[in-house]
Amino acid sequence: GQQVMQIPQYQHVQEGEDFTTYCNSSTTLSNIQWYKQRPGGHPVFLIQLVKSGEVKKQKRLTFQFGEAKKNSSLHITATQTTDVGTYFCAGMPWGKFQFGAGTQVVVTP
């Protein structure tokens, strides 16, 4: 079954607003990766988090790894139309690499 879970499944955002998508694992993860897949495209690697409590920023994107290394979040500020796509987290619960179900982001102007 799905051991890497993401919420929400869908996110409708007004351009300029902020939003956060969450990734939760049923067990401790050694690392977590985030990917973005544009409509009709393929996943593109965004970032990898390894340390407990780690926070990394990429311009308007902030990635966080929980203290217990069982959850992660992606926060996007001042959403733009270029942020449209599905954001996937991925990790290795119980040693098996697995993608989360993804958060599909739709941006309205």
Taking CA 76 as the corner, what is the angle to CA 71 and CA 81, rounded to the nearest 5 degrees? Answer: 135
Matching residue, tokens 């993804």: 102
Nearest approach, Cβ of residue 109 and other proteins (Å):
22
Site membership for other proteins, residue 33 (CB under 8 A)? yes
CA dihedral 74, 76, 80, 85 (to 10 degrees): 10
Site membership for other proteins, residue 30 (CB under 8 A)? yes
Matching residue, tokens 């599909």: 104
Q: Which of 11, 43, 64, 83 binds other proteins (CB under 8 A)?
A: 43
Nearest approach, Cβ of residue 80 and other proteins (Å):
22
Contact 57, 63 (CB under 8 A): yes
Question: Which residue lies nearer to other proteins by CB, 16 or 58?
Answer: 58
> Binding mask 70-99 vs other proteins (x if CB under 8 A, - otherwise)?
------------------x-xxx---xxxx
